Structure 1
Amino acid sequence: MKIVFITGLSFFMSIYSWFIPGLPLAKQEAATIPVCHTSGNDMSAMAADPAFQRLHEAPLPFTYTGAGEMIKFSTPDGQSANGFLLKSKKPSNKWLLVYQEWWGLNDNIKQQSETFYNDLKDVNVLAVDMYDGKVATEPAEAGKLMQAASKDRLSSIMKGAIAYAGPKAEFASVGWCFGGMLSLQSAMLEGNRAKGCVMYYGRPEQDVDKLKTLDTDVLGIFGSQDKGISPESVKEFEKNMEKAGEKVTVKMYDAGHGFANPSNPVYNKEAAADAYKLALGYLKNKLKA
């Protein structure tokens, strides 16, 4: 399929690349900030890296007082998981799965979930708790939580959320940072019921064979100033999506990592508003009746 690329406000090549051609692997690791975020246990080394943690400033205090309820659902590993549910006022088989930043399912994610819920209308919105009830407020704390999140458990939680929605459910997903990566992984798990996928500055899957399993296109929203997800790694993702025969639309903003989070000190109001408008239009089109 053809790749659609939307030119960002100011696109430039970051010196922090995933791989530096011609440099031995050991020296690559020393020369770069780890790419946010690798899947499964590979996250551990990056989550503990002080340079990686410095990409994520502590969120500003925020308390959510809106609608929605916390729920529990079964997971295929024999445990249970949590989610924040905003159920459609009318019966609907349309679902938006929302995936948290590395902080956890905090009040900012609940607020963003309600915003999508109010604007999408007649869509069930489920923000999935990937840390089993734990929430961080400081980078070092978030790093420990991400280190402890095993690949198997993350996969089981996503599968449980998909099963909770029911066999007739149709899905779109959205996530930021850690959740941007999970949004893409979730779309793969949803199979032919996946209708859309939005990933905000999350680590792209680069395995072409895995990308071939997608049954939906992807909207990728990134920042050209992001030192964790470099423009180079995004370019690599585009190339690999093309190799996989999949479609990706990329929007690159002149902003840093976490620019769309209003509780983040690096919040970019103008870029965040434009990105949300883009994401909302995409999701409305994908989840239309």
Structure 2
Amino acid sequence: MKIIFITGLSFFMSLLSYLKPMEKPQATSIPLCHKPAGPLSANDMSAMATDPAFQQLHAAPLPFTYTGAGEMIKFSTPDGQSANGFLLKSKKASDKWLLVYQEWWGLNDNIKQQAETFYNDLKDVNVLAVDMYDGKVATEPAEAGKLMQAASKDRLTSIQKGAIAYAGPKAEFASVGWCFGGMLSLQSAIMEGKQAKGCVMYYGRPEQDVEKLKTLSTDVLGIFGSQDKGITPESVKTFEENMQKAGKKVTVKMYDAGHGFANPSNPVYNKEATADAYKLSLNYLKDKLKA
């Protein structure tokens, strides 16, 4: 893997604070990425999204305006609507795709910058950062909590399926995301079926349903923090056990760090762990998306 420029690394980090649990106060909502393993009630999700203590775990993202390559696109979704994405298309025709999943803030300019960082480092891979909030972007934790609450499982699933269909039946996928997006990255790999080739999840809430995990067609790289009070080491251990029960491979890298350690906006930002995690992720993705 390549060593990132200091600037690119810092932008990469600045995007990582937004990814926290998401959910709508309904039984149809996706489980919050921060809760330990086990079922969540709608009230749990609503309370967490609006809890000031929880919101304080997410410092507002650093101001940044993206001016690089790429373009916003629209694609159809199975629910009869359309969704948005930020696309960096491979300069050479390629069926290799990296789906990038946002933090809880939405598809902001930091996510676009991170998508371009992966695009430049992977080479000959189409990179699509998927807009999971239908154009809405938060700049403060309270706003992000509201967006997270309002995101229904049905709509989120439809957006992900639409993005997968946009790439086409010959596409080979890898995915990456942080916290909220880490959870979505794993769900994406499940939805991609036989087209899934790789999955990176940064401190996202793991899927703990063994039957769902059995449907994975790829291994998983999980990046977590031993001091994470949301996605605890215990919940990660349960995930490892459930992946083993499902007959699937997961590689876990546990850093001596807290939740959101890869985001410079976060008080627990860990520069060394962030650089190492990116190296690990990039090497993994290069291997999975090699020609």
What is the TM-score when the length of structure 2 is the normalising length? 0.84
Q: CA deviation at 1:264?
A: 3.6
- CA 232–148 in structure 1, closer or farther in 2 if over 3 Å, else same: same
Q: Hey, what's the Cα distance between the residues in 1 that align with 2:154 and 2:40?
A: 10
Please list, as runs of the form range in 1=range in 2, the aligned pairs for 1:67-216 lying within 5 A after superposition.
67-216=69-218
What secondary structure does 1:190 align onto?
helix
Could you tell me which amino acid in structure 2 is paired with residue 133 of structure 1?
A: G
Indicate yes or no: 2:42 matched with 1:54. no
Kept after mapping to 2: 8 A contact 1:37/1:203: no
Could you tell me which amino acid in structure 2 is paired with residue 231 of structure 1?
A: P
Per-residue CA deviations over 1:18-44 (Å, capped at 9, x if unaligned) read xxxxxxxxxxxxxxx844998996743
| Aligned match of 1:237 | 239
RMSD, aligned α-carbons: 1.9
Kept after mapping to 2: 8 A contact 1:108/1:263: no
The share of aligned pairs that are identical, in percent, is 88
What secondary structure does 2:69 align onto?
coil
Per-residue CA deviations over 1:49-81 (Å, capped at 9, x if unaligned) read 233222212222122111111110000000000
Q: Hey, what's the Cα distance between the residues in 2 that align with 1:39 and 1:163?
A: 30
| Aligned match of 1:252 | 254
Q: Hey, what's the Cα distance between the residues in 2 that align with 1:49 and 1:258?
A: 17
Q: Hey, what's the Cα distance between the residues in 2 that align with 1:61 and 1:39?
A: 33
Q: Hey, what's the Cα distance between the residues in 2 that align with 1:168 and 1:72?
A: 20
Indicate yes or no: 2:289 matched with 1:287. yes
What secondary structure does 2:124 align onto?
coil
Q: Hey, what's the Cα distance between the residues in 2 that align with 1:44 and 1:192?
A: 35
Q: Hey, what's the Cα distance between the residues in 2 that align with 1:275 and 1:37?
A: 27
Residue range with higher mean Cα deviation, 265-274 or 118-127: 265-274
- CA 143–178 in structure 1, closer or farther in 2 if over 3 Å, else same: same
What secondary structure does 2:104 align onto?
coil
Kept after mapping to 2: 8 A contact 1:208/1:241: yes
Per-residue CA deviations over 1:238-272 (Å, capped at 9, x if unaligned) read 01111111100000111121111234443221111
Per-residue CA deviations over 1:152-176 (Å, capped at 9, x if unaligned) read 0000000000000011101000000
How many residues matched? 257
| Aligned match of 1:273 | 275
Could you tell me which amino acid in structure 1 is paired with residue 188 of structure 2?
A: S
Query: Equivalent of 2:263, from 255, 261, 264?
Result: 261
Could you tell me which amino acid in structure 1 is paired with residue 137 of structure 2?
A: V
Q: Hey, what's the Cα distance between the residues in 2 that align with 1:200 and 1:227?
A: 14
Q: CA deviation at 1:46?
A: 2.3
Q: Hey, what's the Cα distance between the residues in 2 that align with 1:38 and 1:65?
A: 42
Please list, as runs of the form range in 1=range in 2, the aligned pairs for 1:33-52 lying within 5 A after superposition.
34-35=35-36, 43-52=45-54
- CA 120–38 in structure 1, closer or farther in 2 if over 3 Å, else same: farther
Please list, as runs of the form range in 1=range in 2, the aligned pairs for 1:6-17 lying within 5 A after superposition.
none
- Unaligned runs of at least 5 residues, structure 1: 1-32
What is the TM-score when the length of structure 1 is the normalising length? 0.85
Q: Hey, what's the Cα distance between the residues in 2 that align with 1:52 and 1:37?
A: 19
